[in-house]
Amino acid sequence: MLKLIKNLVQLYNYRVLIFSLVGRELKARYRGTILGFFWSFFNPFLLMVVYTVVFGFILRPRDPAFGASPLNYALFLFCGLLPWVWFTSSTIESSMVLMTHGQLIKKILFPAEVLPVVIVLSNLVHFLLGLPILFLFFIILGKGFTWWVLFLPVVIFIQLIFSQGLSFLVSSLTVYFKDIKDILNNLLTFWFFATPIIYPMSFKTIQNSKLLKTFLYLNPMTHIMEGYQYSLFYGSLPHWKKLSVTFLVSLFLFFFGYYIFDKLRDLFPEEV
């Protein structure tokens, strides 16, 4: 355990390398495009417009949770959709990051754990760049903020720990089990619908089914998504007890994921 913590502390010594690789990853993503980094703002803007038109004006879902304005549902949806894109992008990209950068892994002095960290942090930057678009639509559609929006960094931090732990786990396992990448695509689709993003936990169908409600509450992403929804959309204190348990689960996944990564690292050069 002490060795594990010592190795994790070493990540701080690689901070310059991590920031450099994150910058390179962001530049590479939009290299050759005309708008460049503006796509980080434009992509969520277009996504928000599409969901506003489809769910605000065409489907027009009616539920007391969204009030009288049908556009409220689009805002609710985007509160969960934006962090979910960060989560899924980090997970899927991490599953292949060691294989993609095999030439770096084979260098003796290169710290392999840096690569999953770079993936999660670069997608975090895209998420943070998308937040102003969400805030802009809140203002345009007349949905105000409360002081509980200041709770948002806490939720982001918990998701960061959870995503990083899962990224350590899937990146190391995919080196030995190539099928994990395909399994993840299907698993994340199921995980999406098993998380209250397109529906609130207040739906009667959920509240009237003890089994369904228990199943959803066992999903750590449920409480993370609710953290975003409560601090932004509902403007109230998130369920801090459930979020605290989720934080402990995230810490466990972080250390467990890194433990597996550390155990398998010696065989990475042979497998990639």
pLDDT tens figures, 24-81: 887 777 766 666 666 667 777 777 778 777 766 676 666 666 665 667 788 888 888 8
Residue range 122-158, pLDDT digits in tens: 999 989 988 888 888 888 877 878 899 999 999 999 9
Confidence of residue 270 (pLDDT cuts 50, 70, 90): confident
Residue range 77-98, pLDDT digits in tens: 888 888 999 999 999 999 888 8
Residue range 198-215, pLDDT digits in tens: 888 888 888 888 899 999
| pLDDT higher than 90, residue 237 | no
> Do residues 229 and 199 touch, judged by C-beta distance below 8 A?
no
Rounded distance between C-alpha atoms, residue 173 and residue 116, angstroms? 12
Q: How far is CA 230 from CA 79, 87, 233, in A?
A: 9, 19, 6
> In the prediction, which pLDDT does 242 show?
92
| pLDDT higher than 70, residue 197 | yes
Q: Quick one: residue 32, left, alpha or beta (phi over 0 = left, psi -120 to 50 = alpha)?
A: left
Nearest to 166 by CA among 206, 103, 119, 209: 119
| Residue at token pair 């030995």 | 176
Rounded distance between C-alpha atoms, residue 208 and residue 185, angstroms? 31
| pLDDT higher than 90, residue 247 | yes
> Do residues 264 and 192 touch, judged by C-beta distance below 8 A?
no
